[in-house]
Amino acid sequence: MKALCLYDKQDLRFEDAKAPALEHDDDVIIKVKAVGVCGSDLSRYAKLGPYIPGVVFGHEFAGVVVKTGAAVTGITTGDRVAGCPALYCGKCISCQKGAYSQCESLTVLGAKHPGAYAEYTKLPAENVIKLPDSVDFDSAAMIEPSAVVLHGLYKTAIQPGSTVAVIGCGSIGLLAVQWAKLFGAKMIVAIDIDDSKLELAQALGADMIINSQNVVAHEYLFTHSNGVDLAVEAAGSPITSAQVFALCKKGGQVLYLGIPYGNVSIERFYFEKVVRNELEIIGSWNALSAPFPGKEWHTTVHHLANGSLNILPIISHRLSLKQGPWLFNEITQNKQSMGKVIFYPELDS
């Protein structure tokens, strides 16, 4: 089969790879219909390199079941499904408590197991989520990042009437804007340095948009605003990871969804906001809860099916896998700004 394999930093190859085969009774083999590019994929490509050289990359996907193991029930050939790519050990203390996102050995497809930038991929049956006919494959490929956002928001005190700021309007930030609206937030402020992303955030539910490169807006935001109940860091920038503390009111909460691949230096002005305003800082990782894979996944499917969650405007590019090496280079080296990118492996068949 054709696949995208990561051999080293900035060494992504479109090539033939071994197709997955049934090895365990609970295996499910899926023909990949749509697979999204995650920000973590871009960081691993540009900065970190693979866990295993030559591994099939990618983990945000949806497709159609083509084979099932002997013990699989409730999932049959031809089912339309999404995949939860997270794989947990089931043995550590965290797993025994049902805190699967804190598993000592947590990994995902495309890291130490062949991933979904391919014509076919494989998961245990419990990782497979059946889709209603009303949910398209493009939207289903983004159930995983939506579940990541929900996992974080479930840790907060957000409720109807809350005020929320989202800093960073990439895919995660735009999903956070929509979910904050669905949770009943009365005011959502979206912050970014890209006007086109801010316009999309406004179209998806943000009540106020602020370009933080605007000196006047920046000054107001960080020094004169009364602050919000919840500030969501979704940019994954070392700079915004510190600045986010200035967005909250006294006693407010900060939720970290972004991953800064670099050291975070916190100026005294921002650090004192944590102490003097008695802020609650919440870290969130992955998208899992008990019973596995968690309500984050089924809630996302529900809101996709009834149309209250709108994924499609976030997608900016739809490409074949063959265009993968070009795409990763274009974003990481040529600094081309893009929204969510979806690959269609069938285009390479």
pLDDT at 224: 60
- What pLDDT, in 10s, does the model give residues 333-344? 888 888 899 999
Comparing CA positions, the residue from 208, 215, 220, 265 lying closest to residue 246 is 220
- Could you tell me which of 148, 142, 87 has the C-alpha nearest to residue 311? 142
C-alpha 85/C-alpha 206 separation (Å) is 30
Distance CA 166, CA 216 (A): 19
Q: What is the dihedral of CA 317, 322, 323, 326, to 10 degrees?
A: 150
CATH level 2 (architecture), domain 156-283: 3-Layer(aba) Sandwich (3.40)
Tokens of 313: 């405007």
Residue 225: phi and psi, rounded to 5, are: -70, 150
Sequence ranges of the domains in the chain: 2-146+287-348, 156-283
User: How far is 342 from 312, CA to CA, in rounded Å?
Assistant: 11
Taking alpha carbons only, the member of 88, 124, 122 closest to residue 108 is 88
Cβ(331)–Cβ(39) below 8 Å: no
Count Cβ atoms below 10 Å from residue 89 Cβ, excluding itself. Answer: 13
Tokens at residue 349, please? 């068949």
Q: What pTM value is reported for the model?
A: 0.96
Residue 216: the pLDDT is 61
How far apart are alpha carbons 261 and 241 in whole angstroms?
Answer: 11
Position 258, amino acid: G
What local confidence, expressed as pLDDT, does residue 244 receive?
Answer: 93
Secondary structure (H, E, C), 230-256: EEEECCCCCCHHHHHHHHEEEEEEEEE
- Within the chain, which residues score under 50 in pLDDT? none
Q: Which CATH superfamily is domain 2-146+287-348 in?
A: Medium-chain alcohol dehydrogenases, catalytic domain (3.90.180.10)
**N residues, the chain:** 349
Q: How many Cβ atoms from other residues are within 10 Å of residue 250's Cβ?
A: 11
Q: What is the reported pLDDT for 338? A: 87
| pLDDT for res 194 | 94
Of 348, 337, 338, residue with least CA distance to 316 = 338
Q: What is the pLDDT of residue 154?
A: 98
Answer whether 227's CB lies under 8 Å from 247's CB. yes
pLDDT for 223:
60
DSSP E strand stretches across the chain: 2-8, 11-16, 27-36, 55-56, 60-68, 80-83, 86-87, 107-108, 120-124, 128-130, 163-167, 187-192, 208-211, 228-233, 248-256, 280-283, 315-319, 340-343
CB contact at 8 A, 247 and 221: yes
Q: What is the pLDDT of residue 213?
A: 82
Torsion of CA 268, 233, 40, 311, to 10 degrees: -170
Task: Kindly write down the DSSP assignment for every residue of 121-189, as one continuous string.
Answer: EEEEGGGEEE--TTS-HHHHTTHHHHHHHHHHHTTS---TT-EEEEE--SHHHHHHHHHHHHTT-SEEE
The set of residues, in sequence order, having a beta carbon less than 8 Å from that of 90 and lying 6+ positions away, is none
| Cβ atoms 281, 274 nearer than 8 A | yes
Distance CA(133)–CA(62), nearest Å, equals 13
